[in-house]
Structure 1
Amino acid sequence: MDESQTWHALQLSGLALLIVVITILLTVLNLVVLLLRGYIRTINHSNGIEDHLMYIGGIINLGLNIAVVYGCYTGIGSFDHKLNASIATEGAKMVTVWQLLYLTCSPIIKISICATLIRVASQRRYTYPLYVVSILAIAMSVMGIICVFVQCTPFTASWTGKGKCIPADVMMIPAYIFSAVNIAMDWTITIVPAFMLWSLRIRRYLKLLASGILGIGILASTAMIVRMIYVLSYGKSTNKLHKIGYIILWAVVEISLGIIAGSLPSVHQSSKGRSKDSTSRRDSYGTELGTIVGRRRRPPPIVPTYNDYEVTTTIGQGDDGNNDTDFDKDDDSTRRMIYVTREIQQTYS
């Protein structure tokens, strides 16, 4: 075989180099955030379904990013004049691998974020849209995977070109539907927390944290919108791998920002110091089971009397009226917290 037609790794430049650099940086950042989340949630015995989903999504995303980096060395983000048949075929294969991994990873991360929001939401008007997003995420993922497998017969024709494939113009229809629905889901996940925090009185640094998280969510949604502009690249016959590189780049940004935005609340909530009682039992979210079983009667006040002072100690359960800390918890147990108030009055004989 002519040496010019054998596969070899490309010298990265331009868009391909940019994709590799950004992918590696975001991969390292994602791993740090996920490892920190896993460590904190584990030592606090507070891992929930949303955490396990995010860990699974993070592992799949790691494989996705590895495929992207390798794909850049075999044509993704490069112009046709730098490719031979073997390199272009391998690059097209990695595009297909990326599609399948992306369609598997994206809904898992969205459902993880929805599960987190559903757990802390106090009203059904907030939870219903999140359930809808979770269902749509699964439906869109299944639709996308089916499209990937049926677009060419045999399946290997997706990268070899040796077979019969559905016209690219037809395949762009589900691509646009998938992108539009995903944009709607991303904005729903971003807007719902904003409404949840609208009327809450919380500390300033918590407001800043919430604003940062919402900002990251908006950036992820914006990345999806920008990526939709390049969907037409699927129908191009020249420099196709170069143009698809833009789609992959923004997809990497979207997924990575989703992992970060979905992990920051759990890291913050779990890293806060919690009072621990060796005899208290807690569920998987760190909520004392005693606060869930039922409301206890408020014990009568204890009134010890001293020579010159009268001390009244009241032990109660419920809101102590301090709104600055009511929402500074991992759950709603603060609304049923046990508090102690003590009044001291000087007496005169």
Structure 2
Amino acid sequence: MDDPEAVWHALSPDGLAAGILGVTIFFSITTTIMLLLRAYVRTTHRLNGMEDYLMYIGGVLNLGHNAVVMYACFTGLGTRDAKLNLPIMIEGAKAVTVWQLLYIISSPFIKVSICANLIRVAMKRRYTIPLQAMSGLAIAMSVMAFIVVFIQCRPFEASWTGQGKCITVDVIIIPTYVFSAANILVDWVVSILPAFIVWNLQLRRKLKLLSFGILGVGVLASIATIIRMPYIPSYAATSDKLYKIGFIILWTVVELSLGILAGSLPSLRKFFKSLSKDQSTGEHGNIYGSDLVTIGGGGNSAKPQRSAAYELNTTVVGRKSESRDGNSDGVTDGDNDSTSRIIHVTRNVTQTREWERLS
């Protein structure tokens, strides 16, 4: 490890490093597919709003975040010191620093996107005020963490080279705990509040359970953050530091990815298609339609309509009588004309029913 002639070379990830790499690749693929589907549905139906653009930005940043994590797996992340030389350790520490910055930047975009979506749906102040507060908290914590990362060492390169003056690591750990606690609070608030919103909607039990299942994905994101917290002291480790930090990064990948999935699932066409089959009613019991506002969808006025026409046949029964000379004298209701014969007049009635295209 102290060989002065040692040079950097890519490692073959195994053990924890291989696990981090596999999880990161898996979530990179799933979140990309989810975001592409969301973008397709929302753009096709001209429903893109601020929450969508925030999620798109957060998703792109998350892909950059995951790319750095995958690269770090080849340069010491999740690997014990015995298998590393000094150049690999320095490059690994540099990758960790870049990872921190990308995580700090991408996280608020994802969380604020979810909050903005819920604010648009939850019209009541008892819901919107806490969501606005959580958005502000997510942004404030990210700004604080970003500043801490940049001021921890002078020059900045000393964060990975060790050649410079750095703040005591114990001082850095405290803001990390605060940042994690704030993330947990935001995740729980944006997961619990929608449960009250959905509960008050007049949905079938099956659709409520589906909604709760989707919201539960957001709870899993906070659980990932909770699991990560005991590993925070790894930043102060004097040996196997990159190996121990690997656990922090692993659960961070899970946290961000589940946040993207939880924030994007309701926007998929399949979800709204299932809601369109529900016979939800408004407060006045309108059984013919519904102004149901869904998480991830817009109001009825913003959505294109499609109509379905049905043709109904109405049969009018009458008698057509003839005079002795064979000439018709019209349609009568008489029963005493033995020469009368029944005729059928069919009237075509077209009924048009407007369906909302939910997306």
Normalised by the length of structure 1, the TM-score is: 0.79
Partner of 1:180: 181
Cα gap change, 1:320/1:246 in structure 2, threshold over 3 Å: closer, same or farther?
Answer: same
**Paired AA for residue 90 in structure 2:** T
Cα gap change, 1:2/1:171 in structure 2, threshold over 3 Å: closer, same or farther?
Answer: closer
CA contact (8 A) 1:64 1:102 kept: yes
Residues 231-250 of structure 1 aligned to structure 2 (within 5 Å):
231-250=232-251
CA contact (8 A) 2:199 2:208 kept: no
Partner of 2:91: 90
1:322 matched to 2:287: yes
Q: Distance in 1 between matches of 2:228 and 2:168?
A: 21
Partner of 1:261: 262
Cα gap change, 1:10/1:154 in structure 2, threshold over 3 Å: closer, same or farther?
Answer: same
What SS does structure 2 have at the residue aligned with 1:12?
A: coil
What SS does structure 2 have at the residue aligned with 1:6?
A: coil
Q: How far has the Cα of 1:122 moved from its partner?
A: 2.5
Residues 1-349 of structure 1 aligned to structure 2 (within 5 Å):
5-268=6-269, 272=273, 320-322=285-287, 326-327=291-292, 329=294, 330-333=297-300
Q: Distance in 2 between matches of 1:185 and 1:271?
A: 26
Cα gap change, 1:23/1:4 in structure 2, threshold over 3 Å: closer, same or farther?
Answer: farther
Aligned pair count? 295
Q: Distance in 1 between matches of 2:122 and 2:136?
A: 18
Q: Which moved more, 1:255-264 or 1:166-175?
A: 166-175
What SS does structure 2 have at the residue aligned with 1:5?
A: coil
CA contact (8 A) 2:121 2:293 kept: no
1:68-90 CA distances to partner (integer Å, 9 max, x unpaired)?
A: 00001001111000110000000
**Paired AA for residue 96 in structure 1:** T
Q: Distance in 2 between matches of 1:182 and 1:274?
A: 31
Q: Distance in 1 between matches of 2:226 and 2:270?
A: 31
Q: Distance in 1 between matches of 2:72 and 2:229?
A: 21
Q: How far has the Cα of 1:331 moved from its partner?
A: 3.8
1:13-72 CA distances to partner (integer Å, 9 max, x unpaired)?
A: 111000000000000000100000000111101100100110011000000000000001
Q: How far has the Cα of 1:140 moved from its partner?
A: 0.4
* Same amino acid, percent of matched pairs: 55
Q: Distance in 1 between matches of 2:46 and 2:77?
A: 43
Give unpaired runs (5+ residues) of structure 1. 276-316, 339-349
Q: Distance in 2 between matches of 1:274 and 1:243?
A: 45
Partner of 2:308: none
What SS does structure 1 have at the residue aligned with 2:268?
A: helix
CA contact (8 A) 1:203 1:324 kept: no
CA contact (8 A) 2:173 2:233 kept: yes
CA contact (8 A) 2:293 2:299 kept: no
Q: How far has the Cα of 1:11 moved from its partner?
A: 1.4
Q: Distance in 2 between matches of 1:205 and 1:56?
A: 33
CA contact (8 A) 1:75 1:88 kept: yes
Cα gap change, 1:226/1:318 in structure 2, threshold over 3 Å: closer, same or farther?
Answer: closer
**Paired AA for residue 56 in structure 1:** I
What is the CA RMSD across the aligned residues, in angstroms?
Answer: 2.6
1:133-162 CA distances to partner (integer Å, 9 max, x unpaired)?
A: 111111001000000000011100000000
Q: Distance in 2 between matches of 1:188 and 1:237?
A: 37
**Paired AA for residue 84 in structure 2:** L
Q: Which moved more, 1:12-21 or 1:262-271?
A: 262-271
Normalised by the length of structure 2, the TM-score is: 0.77
Q: Distance in 1 between matches of 2:288 and 2:142?
A: 41
Q: Distance in 2 between matches of 1:192 and 1:4?
A: 58
CA contact (8 A) 1:201 1:324 kept: no
CA contact (8 A) 2:221 2:255 kept: yes
**Paired AA for residue 14 in structure 2:** S
Cα gap change, 1:36/1:151 in structure 2, threshold over 3 Å: closer, same or farther?
Answer: same
Q: How far has the Cα of 1:207 moved from its partner?
A: 1.4
Give unpaired runs (5+ residues) of structure 2. 277-281, 306-359
**Paired AA for residue 112 in structure 1:** S
Computing the radius of gyration from Cα coordinates, the structure with the larger value is 2
Q: Distance in 2 between matches of 1:247 and 1:41?
A: 34
